[in-house]
Structures are given as structure tokens and as C-alpha cells.
Amino acid sequence: MKRPQTDPDQSDAIVKTIFEEVRTKGDLAVAKYTSLLDGTNPETTAVTTAEILQAKDQISEDLKKAIATAQINIEKFHRAQQSPKIVVETMEGVTCWQEKKPIQKVGLYIPAGTAPLFSTVLMLAIPAQIAGCNEIILCSPPNKNGQIDPAVLYAAFQCGITKIYKIGGIQAIAAMTFGTATVPKVYKIFGPGNQYVTAAKQYAYQFGVAIDMPAGPSELLIVADESAVPKYIAADLLSQAEHGKDSQVILVSNSESLITAVEAAVNEQIAFLPRQEIAVKAIANSSLIYIPEPEDTLRFINDYAPEHLMICSENESFYIDGIQNAGSVFIGNFTPESAGDYASGTNHTLPTNGFSKNYSGVCLDSFLKSVTFQKISPKGLQNLGPTIEIMATAEGLDGHKNAVTLRLADLNETL
Amino acid sequence: MKRPQTDPDQSDAIVKTIFEEVRTKGDLAVAKYTSLLDGTNPETTAVTTAEILQAKDQISEDLKKAIATAQINIEKFHRAQQSPKIVVETMEGVTCWQEKKPIQKVGLYIPAGTAPLFSTVLMLAIPAQIAGCNEIILCSPPNKNGQIDPAVLYAAFQCGITKIYKIGGIQAIAAMTFGTATVPKVYKIFGPGNQYVTAAKQYAYQFGVAIDMPAGPSELLIVADESAVPKYIAADLLSQAEHGKDSQVILVSNSESLITAVEAAVNEQIAFLPRQEIAVKAIANSSLIYIPEPEDTLRFINDYAPEHLMICSENESFYIDGIQNAGSVFIGNFTPESAGDYASGTNHTLPTNGFSKNYSGVCLDSFLKSVTFQKISPKGLQNLGPTIEIMATAEGLDGHKNAVTLRLADLNETL
């Protein structure tokens, strides 16, 4: 059950320092840390329309088409998550309703580093747009030339996001938390990042900014039996392992021969991976586990609470019905985990580190909050009023009772 | 826009100390702080069945009936929030779905202190039961005699909660965070509390425990015009003001004469309140504000983002349609805020301190998390696969591509 961990205390001090500087000095502090940590001094942090149009020219037609397909699928799945206004007359004359409203200002953080994660732009910007968030901004670290990866800019533009800032790391999270002359303050921050970004998001929470979820290294758990194809399983384990040195992949199987075959296939395939060095380190954190009984396997999965769960088993409905804790689930021999990372339609921003026990992955609701309403008619207050009076009295809150008593007195007089 | 604030640093040190002791010493540490802070040494912290049955005998028939009515309304409104499984075939052969699953272990915290908040038991336990949480525990501080208020025990029992612990304050939050020999560890903690409980919940978050929402002092904003009844408005303002010295109540009106009349009515009514001393201090934090234009008023409300919003205006639909940020909204002259506190059916655990900009109040979804699933057929992978391959390549993640390429090669061979 143990996850690879980084020491949080390491990043805490630097997070506090940068937050305090950005809070007091705004854009100046942002520029200082961009220069210091990203090694570049962009003239302005706000990306211009010219830069966005230029990015468009740098994207191949194939990639444009692929992004369009992913966009359609992600949009379909997240649009289907819209929920209607719920209206209930709880008793005669007492009408209650619940409506979801967009979070008005949201900030999307897109890391750079080892890979330009334009797919994460789609995963965050599409539901934000469907939710109807008024102001959607995006921060991403500039490279040495002071540029954001063109695919990231292109994906943002395709999703209708035009407020894009060349700011990364802790200083980006701080800028979105407090606002600067250039960067608007937001109410909720979304997106993955390294341990510093993670620590910064946790810290932002203390200043009243909501965050999508606590983060940790990526992980995949596969449950498979002899109906699974060893080379597919190996490829899926490696696809997760190449994410980062601290990734964790786990295979649980009731078949010792499958475990042996998968191990061999991993060793064979890993040699051909460009990101072999990362994958090798992640594989060192990982396990192939033999569990004979399905009930024990299910208990193990629910205790581990994986970010990604893949089910390749003749017994698949047993696991589908029994799974309680997982971020996203991939079923069958032809559903690789990378389908959900990019284009099936589900979101890839998911709870890691066992957090699928208590957190949802990013979904449409992540960009909404629920507001309740009630309207009571005079008749309704006559029905409900005495209940409120008795309960308020029992809680020693006479002011609460009085607000009802005054009104009921007037209504009884009118009768 | 300024809220009454307490200094968070004051509570941080004591929270860390108690958490560390409870983490390492468990029940012993809990007993130490119960003795020190609550001035009592209950023989066991777990409430017995005998105690629950005894509590039942201490509750008047009137209060039992009132609790039953409230329970029915709250249950109706929260049951209506159940959402179906959402299934979408995003493209031929690619089926995605989203299902909500209960958070398996939840902890409810019910403060004692100035008033026994049995109504909060209903507001938390009812949706937890509807959600289907497997393990629901409740902590509440014991009084000097080592007892929990009978109304709290009765309400819990009526909601089917039987794992009840006589533990309050920071030590309760710590016990639910780490688990002790007596108290089970939970995945999410709900409920209000004083500044120490609030600080403890924030700290618990750092140990991977989710919390319902950040908390602050209670507040009410009323928008009213000449169609409102001054004495009702005054009674509602006072009902909120009696919650605590740090409560805040605000009236916004386009009518100077209404403001004058409400002020007079507040001064008149406050003299009769048993909790007058508290209300007087809260009123000192509060404001009566004249804003002539409805557009400006609406902007003010959305910027303030009140926990409770009351609308008593001929123009009510303008405000209902325009409100973006509020916890719970009360409409018309016969919908006192205390209706939602107890019995209309809506939840009274709401975001304060401007947090209605980014957080929902407690609702059914607070006890659920969403899990996504996908199943792709061979045909589906042939449709979607090339998109994944192109995107993975563009992100430099060859392992991700490979998981698709291997499968597509096999499928093409079969053809």
C-alpha cells in the first residue's frame, strides 16, 4: 500500500517566501522568480494574440485533427454531466431548490518540463467552458526562449482560452492566489505539477483559494487473469511508469504464469522506450502481486484506491460492481490507460496517492458549486413554523424562534 | 466586504501539539485533553446503547415530533439530489460512464458549548445515510458530567448513527484523522466548530483527510425594499446575530425609510433576547447599507458572497436570476432564515467568509465521489487509436503510444 513519497517540508519554506513576495510585490516578484527559476525574462507575461496565431502555424495538420477528435469526445462526456435544477416541495407551501452555478474565476495550471502537456489543457478548459466560468486564465512556465509550447497555446485557443500567462511554478500559483497587476486573482486553481506546485496549491488553500485536489505521483493498478494479453499489460504498466521516477505501477493477478509473462514482456519492451531511464526508476517502486481469491483482490484494490484501475479479467463485472475507490477505470483488453489520458472522453486529472477514497477526479462539477433556495408561502409557514419554533427553543436560540413567531402572529391575526 | 476575523496563528501551535500526541498515543492523549479542556473523565468515550435509550426518555414528545418533521423534509430534499449513472458512447465502440460512489468512512463533528446543535446532526447524518457511507461516526464534546446532550444523541439515533464518541475539539478531529483503538479513522470530516476545530480541520487536510469546507463566522445578507416588513427583517438579522459575537449581518436596501425602520426594530427587539450580549457584539460588526440601483446591489451581493441571502423585494426574480455567489437563499416575507436552519429541507452547513464563491454547501454530493469508467471495443480502438498515437507522440510519451500501437497491430493482423 505504500506510495513513493517526497518530503513536503523541503518545499514549504520556499513556497512561503515566494508567496509573501508575490503578495507584496506582484509582477516584480513574478519576474524575479521567472528569471531565477526558469532562466528567462519574457518582456510581458501575457501571451499575445500574435503568439497564439504563430503557434497555430507550428502545429501539424495531423495533430490538429487529433486534438479536434479528443476535444469532441471530452466535450460530449462532460456536457452529459450537466445536472438539472432540482425542485422539491418538501411540504405544502415549502418549496426548496438546488441550482449549480459556475465558479466565476478559475485558473488552470499547465506544467512544462519533461513533456508539453497540451492534453491537460483540454481536460481542464473544456469542462470550465461548459460550466460557464466567466473568467478562465491559464498559466504555464516559459521555456529558455520565453515561450510556451505551441501545442499548449493551440489547445488553449481551440478551447476559447485567451488569457494565458508565461508564469510557472510557485510564482504562478501565488499570482493566481493574490492577483497581480497583470494576472487576475482566481477562486479555484486546477492542474498538475511537481512537488513545488503541489505544495504551493496546498498553501494557496490557506488563503481561501479552492484547489481541484491534493496531488501525488501518478499510479496504475491492473487486475488481470489468464484472459489478459501479457504484452498489452506490460505496455500499459510502462506507459504509466514513463510519467515520472516516482510513478507506481502494480499488477495483481490470480495467475502466476501471467505474472511471469508480464515481467518478461516489461523487460523486453522497456529497452525500446526513449524515456527508459524514468521508467526503470518507476518500475523499481512497483510490484507484481499474486492474489488467488477475487474477494481478496477487490479488498486490496479498494484499500489501495488507485488513480487508474485497469480490469482485464473474465470476471470483470465482479470488479466493476465491487470497486469503491478508484479515479478512472479501464475495462477489457482493448482499453489502454492512454485512451483516458487523451481522448476517450473521461478526464485525466484524477486523485492519486489513495485520495480516490475521498476525492473525485476533475469533472464538470469541479467547476460548479451548488446553491440552494427556498420560498415559503404564508400557508407553508403555518405548516412548518411550529416545528422551527420548537427546535429553536430546544437549541436555546430564541432569536431564531422569534423570526417565526412574529410572522405567525401576523398570519393568525389576518385569519 | 470585510469579515470579522480571528487570528489563525493563535490556534496553530496547540493544534500541532494535540495532533502529534493523538497520533502517537491514541486514546490516552484523547483522555488527557478531554480532562484538561472539557474538565471531565468519561469512563469510556464510546456512547453506550443504554445512554442512547436514556436520552430518548429525556426528549419531549413535541421535540420528537418536530425532529421527525425536519427529518422528513431534509430527507426529501437530499434524496432528490441523487444523480443517475451517466453513460455516453463518445464515438462508436468507445463507451464512457460516470458513477457516484459513497465515501466509505465519514466523521461528523457536532459542537456543544453555548447551544446543543442537534439540528446539525440531522443536516450531516441524513445525507450521509442517503449517500450510503458504510461507516458514519459522530464526535461531540462531553459536558462536565461526561455526557453528550440528549437531543444530540436522540437525533443521531433517529438517523441510524450509533458510533458516537464523547470527544470534542482538536482531540476529536485528531482522533478521526489518525484513528485510535476506540475511534475509527475516517476519510472525510464534516461539521462546524470554534476556531480550534476549524484550525484542526484545516490541519487534518494535510494528512489526507478531506473536509467539508473551510469555515468562518456565520453571516446573513438581506436585500429588501419597501415591500419588506421592518420587524421581520429585524428579527432575521437578530436571529443570525445571536449565533456568535463574530457573526455578521448586513441589510442592503434602496429605501432609506426601510433602513431607518429596521434599525429601530432591531433596537427594540434586541432588548428581549436571552442571548442579547452576543447579539449586541455581532450587531457591532454589522451594517445597514443604502444602495439605490439594483445592478449595484447585485454586484455587491456577488462580491460579498454571503452564506445566507434573504431577498424581500418586489424585484425578487432579478436577484434570483442574477445571484452567483451565496450558500442558501431565502425568498419572500414568509421565509425566515431559521426555516433553513432547521426544517425546510435545505442544508444549513454552508460556506461562510466569502467561500460561497468557490465552495458548495453540504449536499448529497459532499458524501460521494465520482468515478469514471471506459470500455473500448476492438472497433472502438481502431476508431480512436490513431488519435491517441498522435497526441502521445506530440507529448513525447512513447510508452503511451506503444500501448495502442501493439493492440492495433494485432487487430490489423486479424483482419
Handedness of CA A276, A278, A280, A283 (dihedral sign): negative
CATH number for B8-212+365-369: choose from 3.40.50.1980, 3.40.190.10, 3.30.420.480, 3.40.720.10: 3.40.50.1980
Distance from CA of B25 to the nearest CA of A (A): 23
Question: Which residues from chain A sit within 8 angstroms of residue B307, using beta carbons?
Answer: none
Q: Chain A: residue nearest B66 by CA?
A: A387
Domain locations along chain A: 8-212+365-369, 219-351, 382-414
CB contact under 8 A, A324 and B114: no
Confidence of residue A5 (pLDDT cuts 50, 70, 90): low
- Considering only residues B3 and A55, tell me which one the structure prediction assigns the higher pLDDT: A55
Question: Residue A137's closest CA among A112, A116, A162?
Answer: A162
**Grid coordinates in use for B68?**
421527525
Compute the distance between CA of residue B214 and CA of residue A367 in angstroms, rounded to an integer.
Answer: 18
- Considering only residues B312 and A245, tell me which one the structure prediction assigns the higher pLDDT: B312
Question: Residue A222's closest CA among A107, A331, A106, A384?
Answer: A331
**pLDDT of the residue at A89:** 98
CB contact under 8 A, A388 and B324: no
Give DSSP secondary structure letters for A96-129. Answer: EEEEEEE-SEEEEE---TTS--HHHHHHHHHHHH
* pTM given for the model: 0.96
A19 has a pLDDT exceeding 80: yes
**Grid coordinates in use for A139?**
498559466
Phi and psi at residue B401, to the nearest 5°: -65, -45
Number of Cβ within 10 Å of residue B109's Cβ equals 27
**Grid coordinates in use for A400?**
431564531
Q: Chain A: residue nearest B411 by CA?
A: A334
**Grid coordinates in use for A116?**
508539453
Compute the distance between CA of residue B180 and CA of residue B164 in angstroms, rounded to an integer.
Answer: 14
Share of chain B above pLDDT 90, in %: 84
Complex-level ipTM:
0.96
Task: Please answer whether residues B45 and B165 qualify as being in contact, where contact means their C-beta atoms are separated by less than 8 angstroms.
Answer: yes
A161 has a pLDDT exceeding 80: yes
pLDDT average, residue stretch A373-391: 98
B115 has a pLDDT exceeding 80: no
Residues in chain B: 415
**pLDDT tens, B283-306?**
888 899 999 999 999 999 999 999
Of B70, B83, B358, the CB nearest to A187: B358
Of A210, A351, A384, the CB nearest to B359: A210
Share of chain A above pLDDT 70, in %: 98
**pLDDT of the residue at A115:** 73
* Type of residue numbered B183: V
Confidence of residue A8 (pLDDT cuts 50, 70, 90): low
Where in the sequence numbering do the catalytic residues of A fall? Answer: 307-308
**pLDDT tens, B16-54?**
999 999 999 999 999 999 999 999 998 899 999 999 999
CB contact under 8 A, A345 and B374: yes
Confidence of residue A291 (pLDDT cuts 50, 70, 90): very high
**pLDDT tens, B318-370?**
999 999 999 999 999 999 999 999 999 999 999 999 999 999 999 999 999 99
Task: Please answer whether residues A192 and A54 qualify as being in contact, where contact means their C-beta atoms are separated by less than 8 angstroms.
Answer: no
CATH architecture type of domain B219-351: 3-Layer(aba) Sandwich (3.40)
Question: Residue B398's closest CA among A340, A220, A235?
Answer: A235
Question: Residue A209's closest CA among A182, A176, A166?
Answer: A176
pLDDT average, residue stretch A217-228: 95
CB contact under 8 A, A90 and B103: no
Question: Residue A293's closest CA among A251, A250, A254, A320?
Answer: A254
**pLDDT tens, A387-398?**
999 999 999 999
**pLDDT tens, A26-81?**
999 999 999 999 999 988 999 999 999 999 999 999 999 999 999 999 999 999 99
**Grid coordinates in use for A108?**
488552470
Sequence-distant (6+) residues with CB within 8 A of B122 are: B67, B70, B71, B74, B155, B159
Strand duo B287-290 + B210-211: pairing: unpaired
A62, with CB counted inside 10 A (0-12, 13-18, 19+), is middle
Confidence of residue A276 (pLDDT cuts 50, 70, 90): confident
pLDDT average, residue stretch B227-256: 93
Compute the distance between CA of residue B339 and CA of residue B362 in angstroms, rounded to an integer.
Answer: 17
**pLDDT of the residue at B252:** 98
Q: Chain B: residue nearest A104 by CA?
A: B357
Distance from CA of B96 to the nearest CA of A (A): 7
**pLDDT of the residue at A7:** 61
pLDDT average, residue stretch B132-161: 96
Q: Could you check whether B8-212+365-369 and B219-351 share the same CATH topology?
A: yes
Sequence-distant (6+) residues with CB within 8 A of B366 are: B127, B190, B212, B360
**pLDDT of the residue at B281:** 87
Distance from CA of B45 to the nearest CA of A (A): 24
**pLDDT of the residue at B317:** 97
